């Protein structure tokens, strides 16, 4: 298995399980997939942070706001690995309640990863809500 395949296996199992847990209200697994070594940054769809402690606080707050997950799909668009660095561009499609309000969401996400002590960890995430294209007249 080459380094890209090894990374994609981690992404498709450990990372995706952590995201599912977050959307079910449990932020701890997502925090485990993130680096504790600076720099760590988050440009989230609703909240942003800089620094490992602030980022984990955002995850805790998000987890407290999420409930009633009914579906989640991750569509990987691109991924690459070079040594101890990797990135993904993907879409996250999910249905859940945010602060008690149910809805469907699509996030466009770019993430950067670093191998810390032999394990892949997220060091940066930029996500935004995908909006339907406006109709042209």
- Both tokens of 25, joined, read 């209200």
Instruction: Tell which residue, 72, 74, 87, has the closest CA to residue 7.
Output: 87
Q: Match 């399980």 to its residue by tokens.
A: 17
- Angle, CA of 118, 75 and 54, to the nearest 5°: 55
Residue 128 pLDDT = 96
Question: CB–CB of 124/108 below 8 Å?
Answer: no
Helix (H, G, I), strand (E, B) or coil at 38: coil
The domains found in the chain, sorted by start residue, are: 3-129 (3.10.450.50)
Determine the straight-line distance between the first and last CA of the chain, rounded to whole angstroms: 51
Q: Match 């606080």 to its residue by tokens.
A: 57
Per-residue pLDDT of the chain (137 residues; tens, 9 = 90+): 899 999 999 999 999 999 999 999 999 999 999 999 999 999 998 899 999 999 999 999 999 999 999 999 999 999 999 999 999 999 999 999 999 999 999 999 999 999 999 999 999 999 999 987 665 66
CA 116, 126, 105, 65 torsion: positive or negative?
positive
Distance of CA 99 to the CA centre of its chain: 19
Question: CB–CB of 34/55 below 8 Å?
Answer: yes
């Amino acid at each position: 298995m080459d380094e890209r395949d090894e990374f994609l296996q981690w992404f498709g199992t450990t990372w995706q399980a952590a995201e599912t847990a977050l959307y079910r209200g449990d932020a701890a697994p997502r925090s485990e997939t993130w680096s504790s070594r600076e720099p760590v940054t988050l440009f989230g769809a609703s909240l942003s942070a800089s620094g490992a402690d602030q980022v984990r606080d955002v995850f805790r707050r998000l987890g407290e706001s999420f409930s009633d997950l009914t579906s989640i799909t991750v569509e990987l668009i691109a991924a690459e690995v070079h040594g101890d660095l990797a990135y993904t561009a993907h879409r996250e499609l999910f249905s859940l309640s945010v602060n008690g309000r149910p809805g469907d969401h699509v996030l466009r996400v770019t993430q950067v990863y670093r191998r810390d002590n032999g394990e892949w960890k997220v060091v940066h995430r930029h996500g935004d809500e995908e909006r339907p294209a406006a109709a042209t007249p």
